[in-house]
A and B are shown apart, each in its own frame.
Chain A
Amino acid sequence: MSVLGTLRAVAVFLALASAAGAAATAPLPVSEIAPGVFVHGGVQEDASPTNGDEIANVGFIVGNRAVAVIDPGGSYREGAALRAAIRTQTQLPIRYVIMTHVHPDHIFGAAAFRADHPDFVGHAKLPGALAERGAYYLRRLHETLGAEADGSEVVPPAVLVSTKLDLDLGGRRLVIWAHGPAHTDSDLTVFDEATRTFWLADLLFVDRIPVIDGSLVGWLDELRQVTAIPAARAVPGHGPVSVPWPQAAAPEQRYLEAVARDTRAAIKAGVDIADADRHVAQSERGHWLLFDAYHARNVTAAYKELEWE
């Protein structure tokens, strides 16, 4: 066989192997919310074997030379399905996998991209947060999902962002911002200059109650800063895949401000931490999905933070 013939045979083999791989993993449904910006909308539920922890908005942005994944998903399987979705759009190399923060629903799909040898990008505080929480999150993922969790791993970021980082996808620049403690202490956001799409990840919750796992005061500060940045649209970490900006941040800001105001008042009045949630932001109850599952916990976190003021 000629060299050319050998190459052709290898190419055919690779194509078949790739087709077999694609058949095994159905692509994650994605919407192209702006040219080259694809998002899969997570379900507004807690993780379960039924939803496979596909509860966060995850996706990718395609440039002229490379692809960047923004949050690889909540399990290896979701990551693999997201990768399959990328391959229905482009064969360009997946050069970056951006992990927007430490929470499991956003990052446990990272291992599905290992073979692409991308740069795994995270906040400078993400390695520390993963050290504290990774093993625990992984064990809980297995307990919650069973076999659906198979293959999921804690993947440490190799490229760390402490303030700002530009990524070039070929004719398309992404600006990554590292934020102070807000939703968590490892929050990143991504701005796509080509379409002025602002990927807020979990700095922005829409419809689903925000979860305070970093700093309430810090989150309100960060919100004031990011809402001053003009954008054509935003991508929340939970909620519709594309929302108007900055209007979509208003309900979250209102909720967090209510929690801060009422928790401060409760502390001042000597209300015990165990009773505080009943005195805090109850007017918000009808506005949020999963309110009863997370509100009291948010108030505990807020109380613990604000009692040091």
Chain B
Amino acid sequence: MGMTRSTLGQAAASFCLVMLTLGGTALAAPSEAERAQRWSDLRHAIFGDRAIADADGLVAIEAPNRAEDAAIVPVTITVTDKLAPEVRALYLVIDYNPSPLAAHFILGPLADARHIETRVRIDDYTYLHAVAETADGRLYAAARFIKAAGGCSAPAGKDQALALKRLGKMKLVLGDHSKPDQPLQAKLLISHPNNSGLQVDQLTHYYIPADFMQTLKVTYNGDLVFKLESDISISEDPTFNFAFRPRGGANSGVLTAEILDSSQRHFTQSWPVPAPPQM
């Protein structure tokens, strides 16, 4: 979605509430009417004139009311059991971020749409919107307000040497595999600075170049679990909690994650997924 990046833009000034030794903020906050207008503009930019129904509990978004670290805010999108089989895509919009469309998950046949979690940067007090799109094109939106600020321009990196050394490395943690009738839980950690490009080097006065994950594709034995299109709103060291239904009965398989970043680097890693225990 180039539109969000170009129109709402890199130039957005930002500030931070949550930081190490300085606290508080003094900028005027948008009114509720202005927030509503912002969402109206965004939803038209992303979805055109398509109708979006209120999720009314079918889709929900979970996040802390107040983020402890605006550069690492855990956000979960949940979908009810009933709607989940119909969902083919999930969108996460952070209304007041410089690049508001934080994540677009395209779900494959193996995905479990009921629960996806990631960590994002939040640049200002804002509504988050989660939109679920069904196979027949219906859209359902849920909203949640969050108090956090400064996450996009804030420095998250604590150990730059480690970040470089570990660039592109991934780690997969699989959940309980003892219930073959249940989707398999997985947590995928990706080591990447996911630089926003909004930090200025005070000594050279140049912006530190943006360097972020553009796409992540997760497959199981070659079948799509999900594909993610994302950008600078995803936190440093992107992390995803998701679930999938391994296909192939009692056989073991391989889960693969492929990444393309904005510097045109590719990273790929695979992990064996053991066969479920025999019932």
| Interface set of A (CB-CB < 8 Å, partner B) | 46-48, 53, 55, 74, 103-105, 125, 127-141, 143-144, 154, 156, 181, 184-185, 211, 213-215, 218, 270, 272-274, 277, 293, 296-297, 299-301, 304-305, 307-308
In the bound complex, do residue B203 and residue A213 qualify as a contact, i.e. CB atoms below 8 Å apart? no
- For A294, the closest partner residue in chain B by CB is B20
- For A156, the closest partner residue in chain B by CB is B203
CB of B19 within 8 Å of the partner chain: yes
- For B16, the closest partner residue in chain A by CB is A140
Residues from chain B with Cβ under 8 Å of A141 in the complex: 22
In the bound complex, do residue A131 and residue B208 qualify as a contact, i.e. CB atoms below 8 Å apart? yes
Contact with A along B114-158 (1 / 0, CB 8 A): 000101000000000000000000000000000000100111011
In the bound complex, do residue A128 and residue B20 qualify as a contact, i.e. CB atoms below 8 Å apart? no
Selected interface stretch from B37-45, B102-110, B159-167, B219-227:
B159-167
In the bound complex, do residue A297 and residue B159 qualify as a contact, i.e. CB atoms below 8 Å apart? no
Contact with A along B164-204 (1 / 0, CB 8 A): 00100001000100000000000001010000000111111
Complex: A270 Cα to B27 Cα, angstroms: 38
CB of B23 within 8 Å of the partner chain: yes
- For B24, the closest partner residue in chain A by CB is A144
Instruction: Please provide the 10 A-B residue pairs with the shortest distance between their CB atoms, ordered closest to farther.
Output: A134-B202, A135-B200, A131-B201, A274-B74, A296-B68, A154-B202, A135-B202, A133-B155, A181-B159, A144-B22
- Given A139-B15, A154-B202, A154-B203, check contact A132 B208 (CB 8 Å): yes
- Given A144-B22, A297-B68, A308-B189, check contact A130 B203 (CB 8 Å): yes
- Partner of B158 from the list A131, A143, A154, A301 (CB cut-off 8 Å) is A301
- Partner of A272 from the list B22, B69, B117, B199 (CB cut-off 8 Å) is B117
- Partner of A131 from the list B19, B22, B203, B241 (CB cut-off 8 Å) is B203
- Given A130-B202, A140-B16, check contact A213 B158 (CB 8 Å): yes
In the bound complex, do residue B202 and residue A104 qualify as a contact, i.e. CB atoms below 8 Å apart? no
Q: How far is the CB of A270 from chain B (nearest CB, A)?
A: 7
Contact with A along B4-16 (1 / 0, CB 8 A): 0000000000011
In the bound complex, do residue B69 and residue A300 qualify as a contact, i.e. CB atoms below 8 Å apart? yes
In the bound complex, do residue A185 and residue B158 qualify as a contact, i.e. CB atoms below 8 Å apart? yes
Residues from chain B with Cβ under 8 Å of A130 in the complex: 202-203
25 contacts between A and B (CB under 8 A): A46-B21, A53-B22, A129-B160, A132-B199, A136-B154, A143-B15, A143-B25, A144-B22, A154-B202, A156-B203, A181-B159, A185-B158, A185-B160, A214-B158, A215-B162, A273-B72, A274-B64, A296-B68, A297-B18, A300-B68, A301-B158, A304-B237, A307-B171, A307-B239, A308-B166
Contact with A along B216-246 (1 / 0, CB 8 A): 0000000000000000000001010100000
| Total count of chain B residues near the partner, CB < 8 A | 45
Residues from chain B with Cβ under 8 Å of A214 in the complex: 158-159
Complex: A305 Cα to B63 Cα, angstroms: 21
| Interface set of B (CB-CB < 8 Å, partner A) | 15-16, 18-27, 63-64, 68-69, 72, 74, 117, 119, 150, 153-155, 157-162, 166, 171, 175, 189, 191, 199-204, 208, 237, 239, 241
In the bound complex, do residue B21 and residue A103 qualify as a contact, i.e. CB atoms below 8 Å apart? yes
Given contact pairs A214-B158, A307-B189, a sample of 16 additional A-B residue pairs in the complex whose CB atoms are under 8 Å apart? A53-B21, A53-B22, A55-B21, A104-B21, A129-B160, A130-B202, A131-B203, A136-B150, A136-B200, A140-B19, A143-B26, A184-B158, A213-B158, A272-B74, A304-B72, A307-B171
Complex: A105 Cα to B25 Cα, angstroms: 17
In the bound complex, do residue B64 and residue A136 qualify as a contact, i.e. CB atoms below 8 Å apart? no
Residues from chain A with Cβ under 8 Å of B24 in the complex: 46, 48, 143-144
In the bound complex, do residue B162 and residue A181 qualify as a contact, i.e. CB atoms below 8 Å apart? yes
Complex: A272 Cα to B76 Cα, angstroms: 11
Residues from chain A with Cβ under 8 Å of B15 in the complex: 139-140, 143
In the bound complex, do residue A297 and residue B21 qualify as a contact, i.e. CB atoms below 8 Å apart? no
In the bound complex, do residue A47 and residue B23 qualify as a contact, i.e. CB atoms below 8 Å apart? yes
Q: How far is the CB of A301 from chain B (nearest CB, A)?
A: 7
In the bound complex, do residue A136 and residue B158 qualify as a contact, i.e. CB atoms below 8 Å apart? no
Residue of A46, A105, A138, A156 contacting most chain B CB atoms (<10 Å) = A46
Residues from chain A with Cβ under 8 Å of B19 in the complex: 140
- Given A272-B74, A304-B237, check contact A128 B26 (CB 8 Å): no
In the bound complex, do residue A181 and residue B158 qualify as a contact, i.e. CB atoms below 8 Å apart? yes
- Given A132-B199, A185-B158, A213-B158, check contact A273 B119 (CB 8 Å): yes
Complex: A104 Cα to B23 Cα, angstroms: 12
In the bound complex, do residue B72 and residue A135 qualify as a contact, i.e. CB atoms below 8 Å apart? no
In the bound complex, do residue A125 and residue B74 qualify as a contact, i.e. CB atoms below 8 Å apart? no
